[in-house]
Structure 1
């Protein structure tokens, strides 16, 4: 997503000589390519055009809403990758830097992360919420149950309830598995709690390349069956609308037991 301040560029972007001035034209090129591909493959696959709205700090709320109003955008995914303006999933050094802004503990950083999550949900109301407990990834306790800390669990639960109230879809994200975590995002306790409140799940591989498409989906299906999820949900455009503009989206469901994940690549 285009950012508005050079301090929010990732190290790899800085190393490449990027500036924020380059990001919006790059985003425009992405949207144009999405329109081209949607027209080219019409009748074969349905392509929805969206973006990940990264909540860096509250000043990014208007940025996300502005990008979402683009007539070519079907929907956006809401996410939190930063706490105290510092990336928490880029590398361990940055995670520790963010942690030191608080009291130096994982617990306090987790609390602050879920405070940011709640603020993002209140402000931009995304249709899909990405990697809900991403904060686990580089922590000292990446596989610990969030319920271990009452204060953290209370803040996570507050956001889960708001997602249900807003009708959002919670992404089950397989990328956690390829990054070495025991469970996808979100972890088991989160999934069970969201399910108990009537929440709806959608599926993602968070692929950053062809080799990651569908990666670990068979493991994710087994995980969801163990959790008790029976249905997955997804967004679909109405078929008779122009390719060049955003479409009217409808929510569709598919029974989990009808999805054949066998043969998908796995890191196991």
Structure 2
């Protein structure tokens, strides 16, 4: 303790800032003991590139990820005296092709990819977390001309179906921002959309069954939420069925390392989260065949020295 399982750097992610080494050094300065380095996997179609990547050849996008792995493992060795770095990746699921390429990527790099953050950022091939107009485009692409409730139901269901496909195929160790689908409407109650709720619950139960951890992602606070991802209703369902939580800052540069972590203890306590878990290297393969296992933080997580004196400036 403390831990984060999800991060990015401007060196290997065009919408982030700073060098990967600067992220690591800042994590050490703040007292992190386990920190995950998880750049996005490459995208494989020109139409899937973000505006800041315009003009980048697809082979450069792919080689950028390979360079990330090289640098992450260099830093893992260089700073082993001060911090445990885990090297992983964050998934994309835009079309089925992304999953086929991810299969090949994992096979090619083998144990160099120690774990997977399973995330979905698109619905119907359209980004849902880039900006509100693009989110609206994704929402209405599924139900043009239909009533608002039906459109929202279709949108949420599509998101959770994609997430389920990802979980089934790759069994990610960390479930990334499980309810990102309501990023621009944090007050939305999934229970108002019965089919979508069934799909969300199916996904949670499947992830619990194979042993995943659900990230408590502090990035939601900087997006204007009064909770982390996931929101209260989803956390309640996860806890009811014995799910386990790990912490993530989802930082996009050194300035965002540990950002809003000072707000996590109150949220976790309010929700009744009594245990915090993290990933640890293991000689025993997990359900996905990778050699990390969930480990419970011993003692009272909320009494750890890391939380004392943390403020909005940290």
TM-aligned CA deviation for residue 247 of structure 1 = 8.0
Matched with 2:26 is none
Q: Within the alignment, does 1:116 sit opposite 2:156 as a pair?
A: no
Q: Larger deviation: 105-114 or 173-182?
A: 105-114
The runs of 4+ residues in structure 1 deviating greater than 3 Å are 262-265
Give the alignment of 1:1-268 within 5 angstroms: 1-14=41-54, 17-69=55-107, 70-71=109-110, 72-104=112-144, 105-138=151-184, 141-238=185-282, 248-254=291-297, 255-259=300-304, 260-266=306-312
TM-aligned CA deviation for residue 55 of structure 1 = 1.4
Between the aligned partners of 1:108 and 1:30, the Cα distance in structure 2 is: 36
Between the aligned partners of 1:175 and 1:63, the Cα distance in structure 2 is: 28
Q: Larger deviation: 146-155 or 28-37?
A: 146-155
Distance 1:18-1:189 versus aligned 2 partners, 3 A rule: same
Kept in 2, the 8 Å contact 1:87–1:94? The answer is yes
* Structure 1 unaligned blocks of 5 or more: 240-245
Q: Which has the higher contact order (CA 8 A, sep 6+)?
A: 2
Question: What TM-score comes out, normalization by structure 2 length?
Answer: 0.77
CA RMSD of aligned residues (A): 1.9
Between the aligned partners of 2:64 and 2:280, the Cα distance in structure 1 is: 26
* Structure 2 unaligned blocks of 5 or more: 1-40, 145-150, 284-288
TM-aligned CA deviation for residue 106 of structure 1 = 2.7
